[in-house]
């Protein structure tokens, strides 16, 4: 289905590319896919989504492999700066250099961490851990109190519900917070190791609870699958894969974005937007694109030889959470069973197995 869709999209893209769509969206990631899907629900909008990556693959949709995409073609292959203060646990497993112009390879002792970002339809939602979590109510209320109209928890809750297709019967009944009508399917795990339940029970006293995942019928439900695939046949939506945007075109006299420049199959193209350019290229690439387009800190742009359009503190205040794993030796088989299963699947998988087996539902 995805292959058919991609051929169809490419043809439509070439037919429409010179016309000038009303709206250009840069990046078909977690945010961009939703925006592209939603805006194209309105037939009055003509939407072009430009995405640097390609289709989801037969492997990215399998939850059990969600940890395997760092350093692959589906990842932008970023790393942190080398440091003696962080990534200390990464000794002997650092990345540097590119293999066959594509992917990172391991080199020892550089004290860097891989910093994964999806380069694929669905963006990082196509390679992430699929945990379905909403932010803390007080975060949203804090943003609203800082003057961001429309961002309080009560303001954003209807949009969480609008997108949600929750397959847990208990949550589904809780209409105040959940919905079953949306595009993004959210499911419980159907299978867990006995160890998982033991850990969870230990944490219940601290109000730990089961977590849900963006999965549908045992497969990953990325924002591409949820929002773009169903919209793929709309006449007013074009999705251009393998289209790397290198600049937002901004009129310096009005400071208004009027188009984008992108690189596709060896050629640069300029396309115009009759109404808006929407930048949803992720936490690293959105600020990078703004700076490449002349919007950013004056001194840095000068150092890089980029003509300044607007001196703004772009690229600061990155916030992220730590991620680390802990390993324990057990005297029972369940944990080992999972990793052995993953390893053997990587070398022996067959399409039939995925279609028929329960293996597609395994995760973590």
Query: What are the residues binding ligand FAD (CB under 6 A)?
Result: 26-32, 50-53, 116-119, 123-125, 128-131, 133, 244-245, 280-283, 285, 289
- Tell me whether residue 73 or residue 311 sits nearer to ligand FAD (CB atom): 73
| Token pair belonging to 111 | 């004290």
DSSP string covering 71-108: TSTTB--EEPPP-SSS-GGGTT-EEEEEETTTEEEEET
Q: How many residues does the chain have?
A: 364
Per the listing, tokens 């490449």 go with 292
Q: At closest approach, how far in Å is the CB of 35 from ligand FAD? A: 9
Q: What is the CA radius of gyration of the chain?
A: 22
Per the listing, tokens 């073609």 go with 73
- Tell me whether residue 84 or residue 133 sits nearer to ligand FAD (CB atom): 133
Q: At closest approach, how far in Å is the CB of 332 from ligand FAD? A: 27
Q: At closest approach, how far in Å is the CB of 95 from ligand FAD? A: 14
Q: At closest approach, how far in Å is the CB of 333 from ligand FAD? A: 26
Give 292's contacts (C-beta < 8 A, 6+ positions apart).
246, 247, 306
First to last CA, the chain: 28
Give 140's contacts (C-beta < 8 A, 6+ positions apart).
151, 152, 153, 155, 156
Among candidates 60, 55, 53, 56, which has minimal Cα distance to 26?
A: 53
Q: At closest approach, how far in Å is the CB of 48 from ligand FAD? A: 12
User: Whose CB is nearest to ligand FAD?
Assistant: 29
- Tell me whether residue 118 or residue 345 sits nearer to ligand FAD (CB atom): 118
- Tell me whether residue 50 or residue 314 sits nearer to ligand FAD (CB atom): 50
Q: At closest approach, how far in Å is the CB of 301 from ligand FAD? A: 17
Q: Determine how many CB atoms are found less than 10 A away from the CB of residue 239.
A: 29
- Tell me whether residue 288 or residue 357 sits nearer to ligand FAD (CB atom): 288
Give 255's contacts (C-beta < 8 A, 6+ positions apart).
309, 310
- Tell me whether residue 236 or residue 285 sits nearer to ligand FAD (CB atom): 285
């Amino acid at each position: 289905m995805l292959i058919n869709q991609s051929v169809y999209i490419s043809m439509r893209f070439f037919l429409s590319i010179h016309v000038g769509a009303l709206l250009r969206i840069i990046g078909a990631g977690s945010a961009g896919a939703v925006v592209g899907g939603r805006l194209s629900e309105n037939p009055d909008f003509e939407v072009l989504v430009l995405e640097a990556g390609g289709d989801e693959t037969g492997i990215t949709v399998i939850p059990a492999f969600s940890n395997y995409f760092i350093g692959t073609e589906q990842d932008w292959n970023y790393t942190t700066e080398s440091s003696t203060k962080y990534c200390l646990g990464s000794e002997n497993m650092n990345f540097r250099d590119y293999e066959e112009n594509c992917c990172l390879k391991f080199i020892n002792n550089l004290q860097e961490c891989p910093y994964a970002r999806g380069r694929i339809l669905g963006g990082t939602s196509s390679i992430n851990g699929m945990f379905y979590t909403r932010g803390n109510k007080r975060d949203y209320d804090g943003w609203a109190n800082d003057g961001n109209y429309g961002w309080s928890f009560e303001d954003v809750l209807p949009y969480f519900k609008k997108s949600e297709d929750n397959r847990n019967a208990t949550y589904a009944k809780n209409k105040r917070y959940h919905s079953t009508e949306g595009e993004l399917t959210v499911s419980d795990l159907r299978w867990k190791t006995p160890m998982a339940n033991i850990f969870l029970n230990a944490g219940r006293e601290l109000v730990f609870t089961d977590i849900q995942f963006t999965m549908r019928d045992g497969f990953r439900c990325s924002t591409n699958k949820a929002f773009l695939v169903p919209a793929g046949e709309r006449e007013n939506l074009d999705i251009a894969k393998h289209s790397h945007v290198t600049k937002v075109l901004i009129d310096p006299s009005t400071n208004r974005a009027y188009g984008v420049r992108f690189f596709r199959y060896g050629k640069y193209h300029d396309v115009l937007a009759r109404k808006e350019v929407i930048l949803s290229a992720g936490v690293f690439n959105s600020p990078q694109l703004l700076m490449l387009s002349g919007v950013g800190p004056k001194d840095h742009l000068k150092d890089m030889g980029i003509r300044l359009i607007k001196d703004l503190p772009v690229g600061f205040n990155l916030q992220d959470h730590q991620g680390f794993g802990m390993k324990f030796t057990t005297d029972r088989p369940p944990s080992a069973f999972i990793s052995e299963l993953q390893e053997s699947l990587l070398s022996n998988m067959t399409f039939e197995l995925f279609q028929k087996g329960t293996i597609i539902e395994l995760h973590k």
